[in-house]
């Protein structure tokens, strides 16, 4: 749920600012505001804190990161890192920065030169491979390459489909050299022509400039290769490539040696510098007067007393934290922080697809955590598929423990697999109709209906629409709640009117269908008559369109039936097709492949449609968004630790 926030002000002697900031940074609970902007000049004249260290730390951090990108990564040594971390904990920020500068000074030049040389050698290897490839292409025309003093030979590779450009090149080179040139073309392969041109060296610059301007692929070998037989050039290329690769290996060994000595210390230094940068980078939000400092911000209500006690214990009465009164304008700027039970947290990932809620809006995460698995289960509804999805979720959760996205998605799959199995029992489905065919399981008979999805199309449609009514009505009720909290009379009128109008339409339709006494027709009409003016007052003429939009939202829940119907039909087809194949092994393979495809679709499509039903049909009835995300002033990892309390 969204946590209640308190607006606070921390005041103390100017000389204690650094220690207070350290305490707040380590506690990781305060969402900072600019004190100079929030405190009126009439109360106290504040100026922002200027920290030259921020730029220095950013510079050193960037240089360390550059060294890291050069050194090969090695396995973490927890013991070594813990010892370095313990040593740095006893040092001041200036001492840590100085130590980091010293490490950078020792490594930066060496690693930069080694990296540059390695890059140069790697590019040379690529170039040598390219030369070798080009030479192998034009080797068939070696005999046509003259070796004349005072002349230069250029080789052009031209695609046969563009052979017409050769005449243009011949004409232009003739003009440049006053027809003192020779040109011949030979087919290299099915797609390429090699055009060899011999011309006086005095026209070298003009000829090459022209060739470059027409964007033709020119083969230009290094000078040390020209004038040699092809077999010598191939030998030289192979020899140079081997030397380059050997030197690259030597450089890699030197970098690995440096990494073994410095990697652990640099990693810990980087962590500390990132913390220091995060801390000093926020100093501009603090205000200073001649004798005092002021810090403004928001803190979760449940952490206020703990923070106050920590300040009291260290600073006594010299530093005071006080809770400020909050106006309606302040409430709009209050940061939003989710702190939900463990079964809800995975669904916060889906909430990131929507805008941050306003501070006083209801947190829809728990509702999403309840309805998403139910919708998923209704659509998939197969015991076998549910078990496979459960197993897959458990495997992903165990295998990718360090990837938050994978952990969230696996948790959602695990939770959603439970209603999938439950509804599978309700529908009598185990890999489609396999269990029913074997006599192990049958669809439940309830309310005079056998809930076989392949046959109970109308009951399933009615169930889906009924769920849509409940879900949309819940959204409208939450919209009424938000309107009351935010004191928005027009939103209150619109949501209330919409609830009455849709209720009236439903009562009218059900009574007309003969499922309610005829007198209820008047009750439905009365609800509509009362609801329409409220809608028009709250939303204007556009409200009438919103009525039809809301009806469309409810009908959109028919997808719960349609997606499920498609899934069960594909499962039945898989079973029947497997049974129709005379060879048992082939039939089993076909069934497994089709069921695998269906399970993949079952995990993807129902998830997308369930998310859509929430974000579009449900959220549109109460959720506005546009809030401020809670971003605590915290060192790396402090917020995670705090949430784990």
Q: Enumerate long-range contacts of 95-103, CB under 8 Å, 24 or more apart.
A: 96/269, 96/272, 96/273, 96/276, 97/53, 97/56, 97/57, 97/60, 97/273, 97/276, 99/269, 100/60, 100/64, 100/269, 100/272, 100/273, 101/60, 103/64, 103/262, 103/265, 103/266, 103/269
Q: Which residues pair with 33 in a beta bridge?
A: 296
Q: How far is CA 204 from CA 76, 378, 506, in A?
A: 58, 77, 88
Describe the crossing of helices 584-612 and 383-399 by its angle, rounded to 10 degrees.
Answer: 70
Q: Is 630 helix (H, G, I), strand (E, B) or coil?
A: coil
Q: 325: burial class by Cβ within 10 Å (0-12, 13-18, 19+)?
A: exposed
Please state, in angstroms and rounded to a whole number, the distance separating the CA atoms of residues 384 and 564. Answer: 15
Please state, in angstroms and rounded to a whole number, the distance separating the CA atoms of residues 349 and 643. Answer: 16
In this prediction, residue 641 carries a pLDDT of 45
Please state, in angstroms and rounded to a whole number, the distance separating the CA atoms of residues 277 and 60. Answer: 10
Please state, in angstroms and rounded to a whole number, the distance separating the CA atoms of residues 17 and 46. Answer: 14
Please state, in angstroms and rounded to a whole number, the distance separating the CA atoms of residues 493 and 496. Answer: 5
Q: CA geometry: angle at 112 spanning 107 and 116, to 5°?
A: 155
Fold of 148-226: Alpha-Beta Plaits (3.30.70)
Q: Where are the domains of the chain?
A: 148-226, 345-621
DSSP 383-409: HHHHHHHHHHHHHHHHH-TT-HHHHHH
Name residue, tokens 């990892």. Answer: 637
**Average of per-residue pLDDT values in the chain:** 86
Q: How many CA atoms does the CB half-sphere of 482 hold within 13 Å?
A: 25
Q: Which residues pair with 199 in a beta bridge?
A: 152
DSSP 215-234: T-EEE---TTTTTS-HHHHH
Token pair of 376, please? Answer: 């998923």
Q: How many CA atoms does the CB half-sphere of 25 hold within 13 Å?
A: 19
In this prediction, residue 644 carries a pLDDT of 45
Q: Which residues pair with 185 in a beta bridge?
A: 195
Please state, in angstroms and rounded to a whole number, the distance separating the CA atoms of residues 24 and 296. Answer: 12
411-456 pLDDT, tens digit per residue, is 999 999 999 999 999 999 998 888 888 788 888 888 888 888 888 8
- Nearest 5°: phi and psi at 411? -65, -40
Token pair of 33, please? Answer: 């505001």
Please state, in angstroms and rounded to a whole number, the distance separating the CA atoms of residues 237 and 232. Answer: 9
Non-local (6+) Cβ contacts of 602 within 8 A are 379, 380, 382, 385, 389, 567
Non-local (6+) Cβ contacts of 411 within 8 A are 345, 346, 393, 397
Contact (CB, 8 A) for 298 and 261: no
Name residue, tokens 């009439």. Answer: 42
In this prediction, residue 338 carries a pLDDT of 78
Q: Is 162 helix (H, G, I), strand (E, B) or coil?
A: helix
488-545 pLDDT, tens digit per residue, is 899 999 999 999 999 999 999 999 888 888 889 999 999 999 999 999 998 888 888 8
DSSP 517-540: -TTHHHHHHHHHHHHHHHHHHHHT
Token pair of 280, please? Answer: 């000093």
Token pair of 415, please? Answer: 């939770």
Residues of the chain with pLDDT under 70: 1, 40-43, 45, 48, 50-53, 130, 134, 137-149, 188-189, 219-228, 230, 582, 636-645
State the first-to-last Cα distance of the chain, in angstroms, to the nearest integer: 16
């Amino acid at each position: 749920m969204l946590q209640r926030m308190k607006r606070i002000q921390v005041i103390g002697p100017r000389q204690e600012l650094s220690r207070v900031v350290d305490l707040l940074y380590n506690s990781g609970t305060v969402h900072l505001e600019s004190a100079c902007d929030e405190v009126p000049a009439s109360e106290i004249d504040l100026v922002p804190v200027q920290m030259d260290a921020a730029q220095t730390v950013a510079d050193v951090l960037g240089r360390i990161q550059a060294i890291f990108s050069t050194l090969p990564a090695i396995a973490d040594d927890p013991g070594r890192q813990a010892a370095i971390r313990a040593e740095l904990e006893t040092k001041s920020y200036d001492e840590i920065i100085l130590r980091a500068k010293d490490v950078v000074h020792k490594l930066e030049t060496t690693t930069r030169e080694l990296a540059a040389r390695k890059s140069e050698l790697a590019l040379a290897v690529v170039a040598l491979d390219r030369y070798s490839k080009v030479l192998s292409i034009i080797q068939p025309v070696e005999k046509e390459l003259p070796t004349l003093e005072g002349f230069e030979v250029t080789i052009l590779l031209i695609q046969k489909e563009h052979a017409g450009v050769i005449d243009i090149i011949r004409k232009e080179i003739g003009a440049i050299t006053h027809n003192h040139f020779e040109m011949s073309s030979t087919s290299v392969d099915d797609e390429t022509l090699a055009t060899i041109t011999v011309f006086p060296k005095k026209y070298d610059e003009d000829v090459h400039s022209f060739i470059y301007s027409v964007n033709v692929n020119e083969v230009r070998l290094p000078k040390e290769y020209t004038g040699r037989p092809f077999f010598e050039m191939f030998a030289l290329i192979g020899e140079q490539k081997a030397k380059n690769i050997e030197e690259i290996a030597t450089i890699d060994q030197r970098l690995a040696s440096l990494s073994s000595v410095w990697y652990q210390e640099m990693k810990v230094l980087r962590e500390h510098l990132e913390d220091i940068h995060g801390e000093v980078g926020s100093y501009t939000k603090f205000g200073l007067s001649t004798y005092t400092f002021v810090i403004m911000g928001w803190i979760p209500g449940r952490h206020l007393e703990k923070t106050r006690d920590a300040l009291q214990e260290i600073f006594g009465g010299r530093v005071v934290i006080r809770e400020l009164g909050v106006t309606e304008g302040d409430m709009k700027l209050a940061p939003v922080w989710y702190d939900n039970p463990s079964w809800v947290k995975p669904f916060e990932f889906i909430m990131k697809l929507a805008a941050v809620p306003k501070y006083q809006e209801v947190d829809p995460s728990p509702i999403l955590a309840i309805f998403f698995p139910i919708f998923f289960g209704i659509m998939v509804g197969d015991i076998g598929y549910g078990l496979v999805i459960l197993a897959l979720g458990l495997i992903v959760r165990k295998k990718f423990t360090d990837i938050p996205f994978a952990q969230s998605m696996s948790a959602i799959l695990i939770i959603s697999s439970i209603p999938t199995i439950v509804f599978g029992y309700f529908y009598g489905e185990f890999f489609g109709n396999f269990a029913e065919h074997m006599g192990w399981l049958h669809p439940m008979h309830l309310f005079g209906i056998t809930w076989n999805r392949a046959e109970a199309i109308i009951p399933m449609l009615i169930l889906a629409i009924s769920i849509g009514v409940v879900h949309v009505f819940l959204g409208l009720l939450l919209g009424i709640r938000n309107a009351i909290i935010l004191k928005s009379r027009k939103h209150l009128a619109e949501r209330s009117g919409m609830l009455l109008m849709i209720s009236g339409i439903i009562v009218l339709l059900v009574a007309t269908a003969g499922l309610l006494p005829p007198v209820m027709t008047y009750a439905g009409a009365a609800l509509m008559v009362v609801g329409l003016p409220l809608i028009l007052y709250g939303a204007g003429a556009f409200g009438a369109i919103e009525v039809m939009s809301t009806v469309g939202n409810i009908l959109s829940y028919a997808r719960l039936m349609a997606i499920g119907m498609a899934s069960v039909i594909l499962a039945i087809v898989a079973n029947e097709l497997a049974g129709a194949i005379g060879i048992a092994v082939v039939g089993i393979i076909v069934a497994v492949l089709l069921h695998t495809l269906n399970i993949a679709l079952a995990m993807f499509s129902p998830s997308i449609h369930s998310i859509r039903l929430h974000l579009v049909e449900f959220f549109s009835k109460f959720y506005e968004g546009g809030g401020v995300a809670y971003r605590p002033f915290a060192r790396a990892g402090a917020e995670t630790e705090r949430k784990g309390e």
